[in-house]
Structure 1
Amino acid sequence: MKHQEIVTAFKKASASQSAGQDCVEVAQTADGGRAVRDSKNPAGGLQFYAPAGWVAFIDGVKAGAFSG
């Protein structure tokens, strides 16, 4: 099994679905990382994040590291 094999369906954040906004979509990869794509252009390519990188990103979001 390749580490970049996508093993779940892509999902948008519930906040973007209820607001009708375009957003990124995220799916889990076989190694526990994540694949990310643009919901407006799902065939436009993917970005892959290793498990540790994804955890660091989520921790940063929760800590407010990316808020303006």
Structure 2
Amino acid sequence: MSSAFVREGGGETPRVWQSRESAAESLATWRTIDGQHYNYEIRARPHGGFMIARLNKSGGFDSWVSD
């Protein structure tokens, strides 16, 4: 995994889902947990898999979702 992915999230290793569907299921959970404070977006990785980006309400990147 690119070290840029790790650094952007504050040092924690971001979670990678193998399918868009499994990422979407987790995204629904995260929206329930703190969707009042953040927006979420599924992003495809260049070398396979999907990650969930946590965005602040103004649309800027905040961090990657990790376990």
Structure with more contact order per residue of length (Cα contacts < 8 Å, sep ≥ 6): 2
TM range (shorter): under 0.3
Please state which structure has a larger fraction of its residues in strand.
Answer: 2
